[in-house]
Structure 1
């Protein structure tokens, strides 16, 4: 998946058919494109059965794909789940700086249910004749592991997600010394052939597989997702940054809503329901209640900010052993139980 004209092809790795006998044909397919792909007929890509697309966003600290907005937006308009990738140039700067550059130029995560975590593209140095460096960009395995760690940590800090790592087994073995340190990151394996073959150290399964750099049915790279469309959509739906905590004191319930993420949350809906024979008789500003139910709207909750909500209930039905309040916000649930009197 080299994103520039001067880039060389990825090395084919040996097939290990015996280890993967009986592998089923990919069912969830997708493509990857760059500025060199040119204009893409995204409606045609969707009609060909593709479910996802990766689009080259940035490289090093000074290159941005001039077609990124067109390609990235076009994929989404056609109904594809899309993601962005950054072509690493580890000799140019530390990993954190390139993660920042990536996030600022298309790699930032959007909570829209159709955007995949960003990709760190690690492969043979395509500019060896120009920069006089080896396929590992002049870094030792220890230095490369540190560089990848700095990139993935900064990306996680900025987005709350684990970056996808694109690489080949041979490059990973040579340039990181076969480091097992990044198994928590989804793997996009590059191996052109009929089977994925051996995985890099640290991974027990691949998430995506690039089986060819071009094909007849789709423009750009030919890819598959190792799972169902439902699982692909789940990967595109980031975990909630909302956290709920609270306490019950008599007939009063206090709920603290926290945004642990790096982006503000607007129009957050908080719903609750009392149980155990109680009815809600009082709620704070921005809340409406009726009977046992309450619904509140937090207009804006900034990064690392909190809002405290207090609900008051009337007397419980006599003899009710368990009483309390359930609260839900952005798919996160909290149950508060009051002591029986």
Structure 2
């Protein structure tokens, strides 16, 4: 009887050790896979997702006066900044205080640039598009125009979609290119949805480290809002492009 008890104890401990070993292997593989998806760059002050070769930022007056040659020349372990989204306008008549300086100096420094409009759901989509178009001057090699939609301001979804579509139509008719939509993945799913699935998407999502949590295709991913860049004396958003240099060239204005 005692021998049987001893055998049972040995079997129990062997099985327990096997379970612990399996759990350890699973945990190791999980954390290894996470490490394979992003790397901490102390110089940038943020995690950078791997498997993306084209990186960029977005800026507005919040970043103050920017030294664009320093931005473009910064490189850390092979990661450098190729593109920038620059806030141009907001609502019906507001122009970003740093837009014209940023727009010209980013181009002169060699950055690929794109202009975006901060959309107010309470205002006419057409009137906001006209404010944007009166402010920007697009050139060959620029990223197509962007509408930034982040807040409902209490407006019902049907009216938001109507006004966003109006902005997109006016800008596309004027420029001849299909604009991009910037928004968070949650806002897109809750308030915009399938009606805009044909438009290129610049998705904001900070939780997952390998890709934004959204079912539809996307072109740009804002993965961090707390990065640091030489030449900018304020936190800055970091982005990646989903594709190689040829895919990016095909997206840009001819």
- TM class by shorter chain equals 0.7 to 0.9
- Give 1:26 shift: 2.3
The counterpart of 2:243, out of the listed 208, 224, 227, is: 227
Instruction: Please identify runs of 4+ aligned residues in structure 1 that moved more than 6 A.
Output: none
- Give 1:217 shift: 3.8
CA distance in structure 2 between the partners assigned to 1:216 and 1:139 by the alignment:
35
Residues 183, 202 of structure 2: 8 Å contact kept: yes
The counterpart of 2:98, out of the listed 53, 64, 67, is: 67
Gap regions ≥5 residues in structure 1: 1-16, 125-135, 239-341
Residues 162, 184 of structure 1: 8 Å contact kept: no
CA distance in structure 1 between the partners assigned to 2:203 and 2:181 by the alignment:
8
The equivalent of 2:42 in structure 1 is none
The equivalent of 2:7 in structure 1 is none
The within-5 A match list for 1:158-177 is 158-176=174-192
Name the structure with the higher strand share. Answer: 1
- How many residues end up aligned between the 2 structures? 200
Cα RMSD after superposing both structures:
2.1
CA distance in structure 2 between the partners assigned to 1:38 and 1:162 by the alignment:
30
Confirm or deny that 1:109 pairs with 2:138. Answer: yes
Residues 181, 201 of structure 2: 8 Å contact kept: yes
Name the structure with the higher helix share. Answer: 2
Residues 205, 213 of structure 2: 8 Å contact kept: no
Residues 81, 233 of structure 1: 8 Å contact kept: no
The equivalent of 2:146 in structure 1 is 119
Q: Deviations over 1:77-126 (max 9, x none)?
A: 111110100000110x22111111111112x432x2x21111100113xx
Q: Deviations over 1:45-96 (max 9, x none)?
A: 11121110111000001210121111111110111110100000110x2211
Task: Determine which structure has greater relative contact order: mean sequence separation of CA pairs < 8 Å that are 6+ residues apart, divided by chain length.
Answer: 2
The counterpart of 1:137, out of the listed 153, 175, 179, is: 153
The within-5 A match list for 1:307-326 is none
SS of the aligned residue for 2:133 comes to: helix
The within-5 A match list for 1:136-215 is 136-176=152-192, 179-193=193-207, 194-199=209-214, 204-215=216-227
- Give 1:196 shift: 2.8
The within-5 A match list for 1:91-110 is 91=122, 93-106=123-136, 108-110=137-139
- Give 1:225 shift: 0.6
Residues 177, 253 of structure 2: 8 Å contact kept: no
Q: Deviations over 1:153-209 (max 9, x none)?
A: 111111111111000121123323xx2011221100001242333226xxx321001
Gap regions ≥5 residues in structure 2: 1-29, 38-49, 75-79
CA distance in structure 1 between the partners assigned to 2:72 and 2:246 by the alignment:
17
Residues 189, 196 of structure 1: 8 Å contact kept: no
CA distance in structure 1 between the partners assigned to 2:94 and 2:189 by the alignment:
28
Q: Deviations over 1:295-340 (max 9, x none)?
A: xxxxxxxxxxxxxxxxxxxxxxxxxxxxxxxxxxxxxxxxxxxxxx
